[in-house]
Amino acid sequence: MKFRLLIWGCWSLFNLSSFATTHSKGLSKDLPQKLQRLKRVKLDGHLDSLKESEKKVVLKLIEASKLLDQIYLRQVWEGNPNLEENLSKDKTKQGTMLHLLFKQNAGPWSRLDHDEAFIPNVPAPKPKGAGFYPLDMTTAEFETWIKGLSEKERASATGFFSVIRRDQNGKLISIPYSEAYQDFLQPAAKLLEEAANLTVDSSLKKYLVSRAAAFRSDNYYDSDVAWMELDSKIEPTMGPYETYEDALFNYKAAFESFITLRSDQETESLKKFSSHLQEIEDRLPLEEKYKNKKLGANSPIRVVDQIFTSGEARRGVATAAFNLPNDEKVIREKGSKRVMLKNVQQSKFENVLIPISKVALSQKSQSEVAFEPFFTHILMHELVHGLGPHQITKSEKETTVRMELKDLYSAIEEAKADITGLFAMNYLISKNIIDKSLSKSMYTTFLASCFRSVRFGINEAHGKGIALQFNYLVDQGAFVAEPDGTFSVDFSKVEKAVENLAREILTIQAEGSYEKAKALLERYALIRPSMKQVLDKLNRIPVDIQPYYPTAGES
């Protein structure tokens, strides 16, 4: 699963039509505006910390990643390679811009504009089955076809790692990735093995060797397990993972690659915070009987810096965090791992959140917005998802918060993680575990990030959860609307207000009360006029970033 737009939480590209671009058909006249929505930024790797042999490992992995990029291009649409070749020949200003936009989107459809085509004479709308199925295949034809298959064949046809094509007679057939994309997967596997020979890290070696084998066999299980067990400075994630691109059935996995380096400093912070989780649970603003006296183990979190991406990881809005693998069998046996891309989040912070804070916050508050509280809050948000009520008893029956809150669960749970995250930070500051210098800036930074998150609307869980928190804190006098339309924090009130909201949300979860959750959201999860006024002024600020990588020779 990927988390793109909202930094944490499920990514979703809803409501982007609210941005200051006009929608046109065919060749866009508004190319410059379209391009500017993603600000081009440099993402540097800190390869200096690596031994010479490990630097060579990174370069091999980048080379292999570029091959996976070629596969992804074909997975989006079979016509992509030809179209890109033609675009690269057009050296006019318009041609250059079109090529850039093509690269942003990995195809001729704009992902920020509901997949509207920006180049004429391409399939429109964007084919739902992307390049995974024949363009003329209907869902009915596919479903009739798989009914006639053996169980094993059906598993392959509906599996992650095959494409559907037609044979000479026009009959549907399933072709495994290892065969369909062998021109790229064979050399990529070889590069992974060469990298495996160069590294001295045994867990990395194991992952690379097993992943190379998977590229040839389509059996990803062993290498998924090896990825879960990776304990290496170089942390690559390469292969077919997400099924978003297959909008027809969500069966087929798209290729991508993240080459990253583990952040040792943040890994230490995480360890430190994790060791205090039970203590925080015991102090939650919640009736004693609802508290969990013995917390279970959290799934692992890695904090890394990204030095190269390709394929699905390199199109549209930049991924800020991901949770993998998606294979249920591996998750059952080994759990899943959350990877936070720290330098990506820092770049989003600098290029999107800081400009937003300059519009939304009072002059005095602007200087209090900082990356350290921002990122620490993200880590706390992730950790405190594991705190508070999950398994509950309602009317003497064992149930879960998720079951009881149904469609409202995500908005409430995300709001819980934010607000309880602030509560937890405040506690850790009081214990000198988090630096005192964050005691004010964490609230101001959260205030600024509220505007970033609701900018995309409140039709979706995270926007809703943020609007709820923002308005609640305004009503408690913790967030203050200034006469000039900007906002600031009242530090004499914010601590208590955060605790009050945390108590309300945690209690609703403990009681499993759908009615109370609904009432809370109906009252607060709105965009009120004072917030709308600020949002209207954010049109010129980029939506997101588009990284390029000097480590891979890009400029």
For helices 371-384 and 438-454, angle between their N-to-C axes, nearest 10 degrees = 80
Least Cβ distance, residue 385 to Zn ion (angstroms): 6
Give me the phi and psi of 219, to 5 degrees please.
-105, 105
6 or 226, CB closer to Zn ion? 6
Which residue number, 463 or 542, has a Cβ lying nearer to Zn ion? Answer: 463
| Cβ 228 to Zn ion shortest distance, Å | 21
Contact code string over 400-429 relative to Zn ion, x by CB under 5 A: -----------------x------------
Q: Which stretch binds Zn ion (CB under 5 A): 2-10, 101-109, 275-283, 292-300?
A: 2-10
Residue whose CB is less far from Zn ion, 8 or 207: 8
How far apart are CB 413 and Zn ion at their closest, in Å?
Answer: 7
Which residue, 373, 367, 364, is CA-closest to 345?
373
- Check residue 227 and give left, alpha or beta (phi > 0: left; psi -120 to 50: alpha): alpha
Distance CA 246, CA 253 (A): 8
**Using CA atoms, how far apart are residues 275 and 376, in angstroms rounded to an integer?**
15
* Closer to Zn ion by Cβ: residue 9 or 134: 9
| Given 9, 127, 316, 542, the residue binding Zn ion (CB under 5 A) | 9
Please give the size of the binding site for Zn ion, defined by CB under 5 A.
3
Three-state SS for 258?
Answer: strand
Residue 184 or 349 with smaller CB distance to Zn ion: 349
Helix (H) or strand (E) holding 484: none
64 belongs to the binding site for Zn ion (CB under 5 A): no
**Smallest distance from Zn ion to CB 401, Å:** 14
Binding status of residue 31 toward Zn ion by CB under 5 A: no
Nearer CB in complex with Zn ion: 159/386: 386
Amino acid at 233: K
For position 388 contacting Zn ion by CB under 5 A, the verdict is: no
Which CB sits closer to Zn ion, 9 or 542?
9
Report residue 54 as tokens: 């490990």
Strand pairing class (38-42; 544-548): parallel
- To Zn ion, the closest distance from the beta carbon of 212 in angstroms equals 34
Dihedral class, residue 318 (left if φ above 0, else alpha if ψ from -120 to 50, else beta): beta
| Piece of the chain touching Zn ion by CB under 5 A; list 1-9, 90-98, 156-164, 227-235 | 1-9
Dihedral in degrees, nearest 10, Cα atoms 159, 257, 545, 14:
10
Q: Which is nearer to Zn ion, 187 or 300 (CB)?
A: 300
CA-CA distance, 452 to 203, in Å (whole number)?
A: 38
CB 323 to Zn ion: min, Å:
10
Q: Mask: binding to Zn ion, 253-292, rule CB under 5 A, as x and -?
A: ----------------------------------------
Q: Distance from CA of residue 229 to its chain's centroid?
A: 22
Tokens, residue 322? 């991901």
DSSP H stretches of helix in 77-168: 80-89, 93-105, 139-147, 151-157
Site residues for Zn ion per CB under 5 A: 8-9, 417
